[in-house]
């Protein structure tokens, strides 16, 4: 048996933005010995969606640390200063950082935080004698670490719906949006002479689908056909008004978490437009591009809403796609040369958790039972990042709430207030809070 090489107070598994934020906020704390283990050899953040000009949907202050510690050396502004880009960013007068620049910032932070270890793949987790024992594969071979507590930030995986057949996947002409940039050249390549117009389809209605559709619209030859279909009733804009943004708050999380599970699920289904919608400016850009194309006649562009894919198969040299309009019951069928599936991501349970599953609190349906302060451990010693959409609401994947969640977790791990937590930031109250100072029928009767 391989003896453990190091012991940590906390091991965080996965080095996406949320666990990077955890590492950044834990950096320099004398009473928390932390390691962040990442299977990849270097930091990457959605490399397949690094399209020119795309930007974050949240302001730059939604970085790793600013909303918890604005003076941190790991802030986005400090990154700009070190790269001598602070003044250009200031002159730009745009709160929304370019996605590529934000990715570069995250990579810079990962390189500057000593607790982050790349090339460390967790294979197995066990629990012995009051500590977690992790078997970890590195370039040097198998090693073992122990920790008192764990923070899981393993992210989600690209989702392909079951209507996509294995035959269609085998053609090599179906691409998930997460890999779009890697296949873009193939998607834009012209067909051989005499073979007729090419047909490219995009399925999905979120930000990624819209960005890909606009890129294809601007790049494909006008004689080619471009289809954009979604089962949503419309191309929903991201709701970004101030009173709605107040829902990204500690008190709304309190409200949501206190609801019965069935009510949470209903709300989650209704709130997709709060975090899965399309940036309004992007919608307008798409419309302007379509309008310009229409000046000299109808373009070969086909937008369809309310249409769910019922079958995606292979037909000789093409993909055979069947859609059904869910309101009218009408069927649409067409052949396509290429298909981009902007069908999102699904959270999964890492295999290494099997060895400690008895120490995790699950709901009856198998989902994590995440407590208000982000623990799923029966002894409050395992925490999750962005795995609590069903218990904490749409703030779970929000980059702007990452520093808040990490503040809560770090305070709980340290047993002290390392970072002050905002308790109430909204002008509105959620739930049936008492209307303080207003008369009621009882007070009116007493006055009479």
Is-contact 407 418, C-beta < 8 A?
A: yes
Alpha helix segments (H runs only) across 164-308: 166-170, 180-188, 207-219, 242-245, 250-258, 261-270, 280-294
- Alpha helix segments (H runs only) across 68-135: 76-82, 86-92, 99-112
pLDDT at site 296 = 83
Q: Which 8-state DSSP code applies to residue 441?
A: H
Closest CA to 19 of 384, 327, 270: 384
The tens digit of pLDDT for each residue in 165-181 reads 999 999 999 999 999 99
Mean predicted lDDT score pLDDT of the chain: 93
Lowest pLDDT segment from 244-258, 290-304, 331-345: 290-304
Q: What is the Cα–Cα distance from 242 to 249, expressed in whole angstroms?
A: 12
Distance CA 142, CA 122 (A): 10
Mean pLDDT, rounded, for 197-205: 94
- Rg for the chain (alpha carbons), in Å? 25
Phi and psi torsions of 436, nearest 5°: -60, 130
CA dist 448 and 445 (Å) reads 5
Q: How far is CA 288 from the centre of its chain?
A: 28
What structural domains does the chain harbor? Answer: 6-157+345-414 (3.50.50.60), 160-238+276-341 (3.50.50.60)
Query: Look-up: residue for tokens 């997460």?
Result: 178
pLDDT in tens, 432-447: 877 888 888 766 666 6
Contacts of residue 96, Cβ cutoff 8 Å, sequence gap at least 6: 55, 56, 57, 58, 59, 60
pLDDT at 274: 84
- Rounded CA gap, 98 and 302, in Å? 29
What's the angle, vertex CA 24, arms to CA 82 and CA 10, rounded to 5? 155
For 27-36, 99-108, 236-245, 400-409, which range has the lowest pLDDT when averaged over its residues?
Answer: 236-245
For residues 207-226, give the mean pLDDT.
95
Helix (H, G, I), strand (E, B) or coil at 180: helix
Residue 193 has pLDDT above 70, yes or no: no
pLDDT at 2: 73
């Amino acid at each position: 048996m391989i003896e453990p090489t190091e012991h940590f107070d906390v091991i965080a598994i996965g080095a996406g933005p949320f666990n990077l934020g955890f590492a950044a906020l834990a950096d320099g704390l004398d009473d928390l010995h932390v390691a962040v283990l990442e299977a990849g050899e270097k930091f990457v953040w959605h490399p397949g969606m690094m399209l020119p000009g795309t930007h974050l949907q949240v302001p730059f202050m939604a970085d790793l640390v600013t909303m918890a510690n604005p003076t941190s050396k790991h802030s986005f502004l400090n990154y700009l200063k070190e790269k001598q880009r602070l003044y250009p960013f200031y002159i730009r007068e745009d709160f929304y950082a370019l996605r590529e620049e934000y990715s570069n910032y995250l990579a810079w932070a990962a390189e500057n935080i000593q607790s982050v270890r790349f090339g460390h793949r967790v294979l197995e987790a066990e629990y012995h004698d009051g500590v977690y024992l992790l078997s970890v594969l590195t370039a040097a071979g198998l090693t073992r670490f122990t920790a008192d507590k764990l923070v899981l930030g393993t992210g989600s995986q690209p989702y392909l719906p079951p209507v996509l057949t294995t035959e269609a996947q085998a053609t090599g002409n179906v691409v998930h949006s997460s890999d779009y940039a890697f296949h873009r050249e193939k998607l834009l390549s012209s067909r051989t002479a005499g073979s007729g117009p090419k047909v490219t389809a995009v399925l999905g209605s979120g930000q990624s689908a819209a960005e890909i559709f606009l890129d294809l619209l601007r790049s494909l030859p006008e004689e080619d056909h471009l289809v954009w279909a979604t089962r949503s009733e419309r191309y929903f804009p991201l709701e970004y008004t101030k009173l709605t943004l107040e829902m990204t708050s500690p008190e709304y999380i309190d409200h949501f978490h206190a609801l019965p599970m069935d009510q949470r699920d209903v709300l989650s289904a209704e709130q997709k437009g709060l975090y899965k919608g399309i940036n309004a400016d992007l919608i307008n850009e798409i419309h302007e591009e379509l309008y310009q194309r229409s000046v000299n006649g109808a373009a070969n562009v086909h937008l369809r809403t309310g249409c769910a894919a019922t079958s995606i198969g292979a037909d000789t040299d093409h993909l055979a796609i069947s859609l059904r309009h869910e309101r009218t019951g009408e069927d649409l069928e067409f052949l396509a040369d290429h298909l981009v599936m902007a069908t999102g991501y699904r959270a999964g349970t890492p295999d290494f958790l099997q060895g400690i599953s008895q120490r995790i609190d699950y709901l009856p349906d198998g989902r994590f039972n995440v407590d208000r302060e982000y623990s799923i451990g029966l002894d409050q010693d395992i925490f999750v990042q962005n795995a609590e959409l069903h218990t904490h609401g749409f703030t779970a994947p929000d980059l702007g709430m990452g520093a808040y969640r990490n503040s809560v977790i770090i305070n709980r791990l340290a047993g002290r207030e390392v970072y002050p937590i905002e308790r109430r930031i909204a002008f509105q109250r959620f739930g049936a809070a008492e209307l303080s100072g207003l008369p009621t029928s009882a007070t009116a009767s007493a006055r009479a």
